[in-house]
Amino acid sequence: MPREHIFDETEYDRRVAQTKERLRERDLDAIVVADPANMNYLTGYDGWSFYVHQAVVVTPDRDEPIWIGRDMDGDGARATTHLSDDSIRAYSDDHVHSPRNLHPMDYVAGVLDELGVADGRIGLEMDAAYFTAKSYTRLQGNLPEAAFEDATLLVGWIRVKKSEQELEYMRQAARISENAMQAGLDAVGEGVPEYEVASAVYQQLIEGTEEYGGDYPAIVPLMPSGDHTGTPHLTWTDREFEDGDPVIIELSGCRHRYHSPLARTTFVGDPPTELQETADIVVEGLEAALDAAEPGVKCETVEEAWRTTIEKYGLEKEDRIGYSMGLGYPPDWGEHTASIRPGDETVLEEDMTFHMIPGIWTDEIGMEISETFRVTSTGAETLAEFPRELFTA
């Protein structure tokens, strides 16, 4: 039995049924799902085992997906999924980093042969972080009659609309994000090492709230400071904060693998006028973009509301300002589907969720204020409740 019923079995049935329908639409006989978030989405499997090869195989005609992983992880599949024993397949440990020239995809190929699709059209998540070039060549070598198709985003596009239970986990993650952000902002100060702030953030990310705990996030807390705030993806160091340092904190609470990212900026000492003005512009542009988000509107239209606002002040930003997200494992909580940027014609639908992070990064200055939001029937609902302002330490 699952150790915890994260979702009812009917929710997984719905997700698998949608996946099967997409397979039929693309005339695919099977899909090999290697992204751990997609594996979780389809089966509930949850374990830190993605550093070795694993997969979920879905065919249009088989009732259940098949989970494939390392032998020692088979009981993890029994603990976290609703799958029957026949749908849990484990390869022997000599396939792992094998000196005998064995590979886990040799085993996956055997399962695909057993399913009768060895000469069929098989979808692969070609751009998934944990699907390697060798995985592809081993499948090709084992199944020379198969036609492999890139199906990287087939499951991802199903995930963009969230169920009510998924949204509830994201709201719980938002409560954790609020606590962690407050802890991080409170810890920043002159003479404080960056790692102490990271420690304070992590404590709250795991401690969660009085009602529930937190999980490890798909991305570590990001904390560029000083001269490096124009480089948004740096983490913490041993460096001590100094008077005059801007500090960006980007983090996310995580609840049952669902995230609600949040970013804010603080300043050690009295902030310069330029930074305060930039913060005010970012907030104005963020709120204009949120006001533009509603069902039927394209992603590029939401970005245009931001861009039009900041252009009034002589600012521009070339990067996207948001992306669909929710369920995730390292290295990312993003879904790699819709992005809020020029040229993305994805039409917003109710219960899509996005992280909107319209940061301004230049050689001289960095400013981030972000929100995770859900598309409602009439607009946008931000999941966190946290002041949108430049903080000071």
Chain segment 272-281, per-residue pLDDT in tens: 999 999 999 9
Residue 372 pLDDT greater than 50, yes or no = yes
Record the tokens describing residue 176, joined without a space.
Answer: 């954790």
Map out the domains of the chain as residue ranges: 9-158, 161-392
Angstrom distances, CA of residue 3 to CA of 44, 87, 131, 176, 309:
11, 18, 28, 23, 49
Residue 361 pLDDT level (bands cut at 50, 70, 90): confident
Residue 340 pLDDT greater than 90, yes or no = yes
- Which residue matches tokens 């009768």? 116
* Other CB atoms within 10 A of residue 75 CB: 12
Chain segment 44-56, per-residue pLDDT in tens: 999 999 999 999 9
Catalogue the long-range contacts made by 186-189 (C-beta closer than 8 Å, 24 or more residues apart).
188/241, 188/247, 188/249, 188/266, 188/268, 188/393, 189/241, 189/268, 189/393
Does the CA dihedral 390-271-195-219 come out positive or negative?
positive
Residue 317 pLDDT level (bands cut at 50, 70, 90): confident
Q: Which whole number is the average pLDDT over 226-253? A: 94
Looking at residue 280, its pLDDT comes to 96
Residue 123 pLDDT greater than 60, yes or no = yes
pTM score, whole prediction: 0.96
Looking at residue 19, its pLDDT comes to 98
Domain 161-392's class? alpha beta
Contact 19, 42 (CB under 8 A): yes
Residue 2 pLDDT level (bands cut at 50, 70, 90): low
Looking at residue 1, its pLDDT comes to 47
Record the tokens describing residue 292, joined without a space.
Answer: 């533009």
Looking at residue 385, its pLDDT comes to 98
- Name the packing angle between helices 36-43 and 9-25 (round to 10°): 120
Record the tokens describing residue 236, joined without a space.
Answer: 């913490």
Q: Which whole number is the average pLDDT over 79-88? A: 96
Residue 3 pLDDT level (bands cut at 50, 70, 90): low
Q: What is the CATH number of domain 9-158?
A: 3.40.350.10
